[in-house]
């Protein structure tokens, strides 16, 4: 059912695509199954990041199960208003076990070792957009974390758009299982356009936003150039281009795409939509655009934002 032999056109170039789950815990921290079993569960994927709390695992024993184990770690640190900020850090050295005591220290360590930092499940953590803006220094957020379905806070799309709207245009959005237990297996993943399945190639794709996030739908091509956006994708019931809030004058009051029940309530389209092709010249004051699609099962996929 899951064909990992993906390729796609990204910004006009053909790319090999790696499917990765970028957030998984084992019983070495607060997950429920062993690293070996976790790797086996994800053996259909091209890459897996084991983000156990506080320590990047030594992945030698799992490398036969999966093509690539991305060296990663999760840090949970004090945040504003007694919140906890959970950071997913990718590209740390294997066996890395330094645990920072503050966010400043965490971002400093990550920068020192050249790692990428993502804020995990901001909605679930109770983090506000303005606090994230003040924090800065991270490469993106989880826009979907399947494990957070258990508390009804699996999406952080509003936060993502707030950050983008406020100028954080390099804030990428990843979808993950947030795997702790098999109940959250294969719910959300990241599709990276990488040269090959090696860790450096995957991290390069992540760093440059050359990926999309998905709960199921597939993008076959994505391109943006000179205010023209184009994407081809698997059958979708809804497809939208989303940009700045309408308070940016003449930015995105123009509806581009197809939405359930529009223009007539209850309207059912006979054919799914498979393409988005849009001229954004009218979005003269917008600063970003991203594409969001939804299939007939209610599953979403999201492109990364493009700066306009």
Partner 1 sequence: MLYNGIEYPVFRASLHNHSTTSDGSFTVAEHARFFHDAGYDVFAISDHRIPNDVSSINIPGLTVISGIELHPMGPRGILWHILALDVPKDFRGIYDTGKEAVDAAKAVGALVYVAHPRWCGLHVEEILELGELNGIEIDNSGCRLIGRAVNDEIWDELLDAGARPCHALATDDSHEWNCFAQGWTMIAAEENTHDCIMDALRKGRFYATQGPDFHSIEFRDGHFRATFSEAVSAVVVGSRGLGVCGAMPRWPMPGCEVPPATSIEADVSSWPKGSWLRCQICDANHHYAWTQPFFV
Q: Which is nearer to partner 1, 15 or 224 (CB)?
A: 224
Work out whether 25 is an interface residue with partner 1 (CB under 8 A): no
Work out whether 57 is an interface residue with partner 1 (CB under 8 A): no
Q: Which is nearer to partner 1, 136 or 265 (CB)?
A: 265
Work out whether 172 is an interface residue with partner 1 (CB under 8 A): no
Residue 67, Cβ density class (10 Å: 0-12 exposed, 13-18 middle, ≥19 buried): middle
Work out whether 59 is an interface residue with partner 1 (CB under 8 A): no
| Residue listed under structure tokens 């956006």 | 229
Of 12, 167, 200, 298, the residue at the interface with partner 1 (CB under 8 A) is 298
H-only helix segments in the chain:
35-41, 103-113, 122-125, 129-135, 157-165, 199-207
Contacts of 61 (CB under 8 A, 6+ apart): 35, 36
Of 3, 134, 271, 297, the residue at the interface with partner 1 (CB under 8 A) is 297
Contact criterion met (CB below 8 Å) for 105 and 129: no
Contacts of partner 1 in 139-158 (CB under 8 A): 149-153, 155-158
Of 35, 103, 161, 202, the residue at the interface with partner 1 (CB under 8 A) is 161
CB of 257 to partner 1, least distance (A): 8
CB of 215 to partner 1, least distance (A): 7
Work out whether 183 is an interface residue with partner 1 (CB under 8 A): yes
186 φ/ψ sector (left φ>0, alpha ψ -120 to 50, else beta): left
Radius of gyration, alpha carbons of the chain: 19
Q: What share of the chain is helix, strand, coil (3-state, %, to 5)?
A: 20, 35, 45
Contact criterion met (CB below 8 Å) for 55 and 96: yes
Q: Which is nearer to partner 1, 155 or 211 (CB)?
A: 155
- Site residue total, partner 1 (CB under 8 A): 48
Cα gap 296→217, rounded to integer Å: 10
Of 26, 68, 125, 176, the residue at the interface with partner 1 (CB under 8 A) is 125
Q: Which is nearer to partner 1, 209 or 243 (CB)?
A: 243
Work out whether 169 is an interface residue with partner 1 (CB under 8 A): no
Work out whether 28 is an interface residue with partner 1 (CB under 8 A): no
Contacts of 288 (CB under 8 A, 6+ apart): 164, 165, 169, 243, 244, 305, 306, 307, 308
Q: Which is nearer to partner 1, 71 or 178 (CB)?
A: 178
Cα gap 33→178, rounded to integer Å: 14
Q: Which is nearer to partner 1, 59 or 292 (CB)?
A: 292
What is the binding site for partner 1 (CB under 8 A)?
83, 123-126, 128-130, 149-153, 155-159, 161-162, 165, 183, 185-187, 215-216, 240, 242, 244-247, 252-253, 255, 259-265, 292, 294, 297-299
């Amino acid at each position: 059912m899951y064909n990992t032999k993906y390729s796609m056109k990204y910004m006009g170039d053909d790319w090999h695509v790696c499917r990765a789950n970028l957030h998984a815990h084992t019983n070495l921290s607060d997950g429920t199954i062993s690293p070996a079993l976790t790797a086996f569960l994800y053996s259909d994927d091209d890459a897996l990041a084991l983000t156990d709390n506080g320590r990047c695992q030594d992945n030698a024993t799992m490398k036969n199960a999966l093509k690539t184990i991305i060296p990663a770690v999760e840090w949970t640190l004090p945040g504003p208003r007694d919140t906890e900020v959970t950071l997913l850090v990718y590209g740390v050295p294997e066996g890395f076990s330094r645990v920072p005591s503050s966010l400043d220290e965490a971002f400093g360590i990550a920068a020192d070792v050249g790692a990428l930092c993502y804020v995990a499940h901001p909605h679930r953590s109770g983090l506000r957009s303005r606090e994230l803006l003040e924090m800065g220094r991270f490469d993106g957020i989880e826009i979907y974390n399947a494990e957070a379905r258990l508390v009804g806070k699996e999406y952080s799309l509003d936060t993502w758009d707030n950050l983008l709207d406020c100028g954080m245009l390099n804030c990428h959005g990843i979808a993950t299982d947030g795997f702790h237990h098999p109940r959250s297996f294969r719910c959300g993943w990241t599709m990276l356009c990488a040269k090959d399945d090696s860790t450096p190639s995957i991290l390069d794709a992540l760093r440059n936003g050359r990926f999309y996030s998905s709960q199921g739908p597939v993008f076959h091509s994505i391109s943006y150039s000179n205010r023209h956006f184009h994407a081809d994708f698997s059958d979708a019931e809804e497809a939208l281009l989303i940009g700045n809030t309408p308070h940016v004058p003449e930015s995105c009051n123009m509806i581009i795409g197809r939405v359930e029940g529009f223009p007539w309530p209850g309207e059912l389209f006979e054919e799914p939509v498979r393409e988005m092709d849009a001229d954004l010249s009218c979005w003269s004051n917008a600063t970003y655009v991203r594409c969001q699609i939804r299939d007939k099962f209610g599953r979403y996929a999201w492109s990364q934002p493009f700066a306009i």
